[in-house]
Structure 1
């Protein structure tokens, strides 16, 4: 199943400006998600740039690791879930498979995974969820 998301916030900075040999950035991110999964996601990413930097923007390549926390509804059921993501951002494409590690509310029994797909200006999450 596919849902559409938009990035409503992306704030990124070095974890520690004084350590040039520890080039890890942290990004505080928010997504607006629409479709059978509807709501907001709050994401904390750690990024390690590979032969590029934050200044390269969408042309950059970075290893990423993060946690996504979703608040909203899935198939009309209200709740939250937290997922762990790990992958790579490569020149505008995010390949970061994720797995749900905990869900609450009416989504308490939700399990599964998701990944991202970018087709032109549309950003999608491909969901593989089960109750």
Structure 2
């Protein structure tokens, strides 16, 4: 199943600005998700830059680790879930699958994973959920 999402916030900064060659950034991110999964996801990413493009950050390459916390509904059932993500962003392509590790509310017992898919200007999550 596919749902769409938009980036509401992307606040990225170096973990330690005093270490010039330390290539780790932290990003505080919010996604608005729409479809059978509907709500807001709050994400904390650590990004380790392997290659950087100062003129266009989308052409950079970084390893990614993060946690996504979703608040909203899935197929009309309210609750939250937390997922762990790990992968790579490589020159505009994101391969960072997520796996659900904790659930609450009516989403208690939700299991599964997701991945990102970009088609033109549309950002999608491909869900593989079981409730």
Q: When the two structures are superposed, what TM-score results if normalisation uses the length of structure 2?
A: 0.96
Query: Does 1:21 find its partner at 2:24?
Result: no
TM-fit CA distance, 1:105? 0.2
CA change 1:81–1:54 in 2 (3 A) is farther
- State the distance in 2 between where 1:100 and 1:55 align: 35
- Residue 79 (structure 1) aligned with residue 79 (structure 2): yes
Distance 1:44 1:31 in 2: 11
Structure 1 residue 56, shift from structure 2 partner: 3.2
Partner of 2:129: 129
Q: Helix, strand or coil for the counterpart of 1:58?
A: helix
- Taking only aligned residues, the RMSD between alpha carbons, in angstroms, comes to 1.1
The aligned residue for residue 95 of structure 1 is: 95
> Structure 1: which 4+ aligned runs deviate by more than 4 Å?
none
Equivalent pairs counted in the alignment come to 131
Q: TM-score w.r.t. structure 1 length? A: 0.96
Q: Distance in 2 between matches of 1:54 and 1:45?
A: 20
Cα–Cα, structure 1 residues 55 and 25, in superposed 2: closer, same or farther, change >3 Å? farther
Describe the superposition over 1:15-64 as per-residue Cα deviations: whole angstroms up to 9, x where unpaired.
00111232100000000000000000000000011121565311111110
- For structure 2, list consecutive stretches of 5 or more residues without a partner in the other structure: none
Q: Residues 2-17 of structure 1: matches in 2 within 5 Å?
A: 2-17=2-17
Q: What SS does the aligned partner of 2:51 have?
A: coil
